[in-house]
Amino acid sequence: MSSTQFDGDIDSFVSYLKSNRGLSANTLKAYRADLTACLHLFELRGVTDLNEITLDDLRSWMAVESRDHARSSMARKTVAVRGFFAWAYEHGLTTTDPAATLMTPPIPSTLPAVLTESQAEQLLDVAEHAVATNQYKDDGGAAAASGSGKAAGKTADKSADTVHRSEAPARADKRDNARVTAESQRNAAILELLYATGIRVAELVSMDIADIDFSTRTIKVTGKGNKQRVVPFGLPAQRALETWLEQGRPVLARTATDAVKSRAANALFLGARGGRIDQRIARDIVHRAAREAGVPDISPHALRHSAATHILDGGADLREVQEMLGHSSLKTTQRYTHVSIEQLKNRYGQAFPRA
């Protein structure tokens, strides 16, 4: 990221947002990048003072940026720039607010991509089958290792050194099988929880073990702006989570160094090296599971869309779904009613002879 002479002002603005707006770390990072790129462009044009920037300059910046960015990205960039200049004016850094009338580009209304209920069921069934298959391999590996140990014990003319060497690969195979099984248990729990609750991937990876209440079958979720909500989950998700916590998590936790282990001691989901799982790995898990299940490729956010749509199809109240998803506006949740209507129209067209 290029630095500018305005970095100090950008730092102050981001600190203000963090303290007063409660925006997520990802949003703050995006705003910082947007502002740095914008002001770097003006710096290249010879601007040395924020007061030199006019509305026409900002419109020119938008024209340049819109060549390489989608409207949704431009909308975020515009909000960041508009917020920055409003803050600069309020804090006496500028004598006017050139961005006060800067318009956000209209974003075309698109319906979110979702799986059908049967496709979602297929996705979760394949993940569950992977757990069972890997557990079988793990048990077989243990039996094979045990068998080779007995055979070695019966062969009197073999030295102890030879026996130890023959057992080493078996132990290594057993560890590998245990790790693969643990990862499949983790993946199944992640998929079940994402679909059962509709939480965001950022919310998923930030969850701690203590955020789960098995007695009420609910999770405590910290969403955007550090707002907390309680979301219920069903029996399949409970079983997957219990299997992961009791069997899989201890296996991956053992692979961590002491430093990593201390940082991830409370984390619900772990990566292959025992640290808290990150968003990239969680996204990869969902994409890979979709490929293996033979369903349309989806992201964790599309799985969230699917959960919301299916819950509404099942008769849930719109306000309840809004609370579950952590939407600040009911308008955002209403998008899913349009998906339900579109699916109804498609089913009607396929099934009704006079459609």
Catalytic residues: 200, 224, 301, 304, 327, 336
Taking the C-alpha atoms of residue 3 and residue 326, their distance in angstroms, rounded to an integer, is 35
How many Å from the N-terminal Cα to the C-terminal Cα in the chain? 55
What count of Cα atoms within 13 Å lies in the side-chain half-sphere of residue 172?
6
DSSP 3-state assignment of 260? helix
- Total residue count of the chain as it appears in this document: 355
Taking the C-alpha atoms of residue 122 and residue 290, their distance in angstroms, rounded to an integer, is 9
C-beta of residue 76 within 8 angstroms of C-beta of residue 34: yes
Residue 113 φ/ψ, nearest 5 degrees: -75, 135
C-beta of residue 184 within 8 angstroms of C-beta of residue 130: yes
C-beta of residue 129 within 8 angstroms of C-beta of residue 293: no
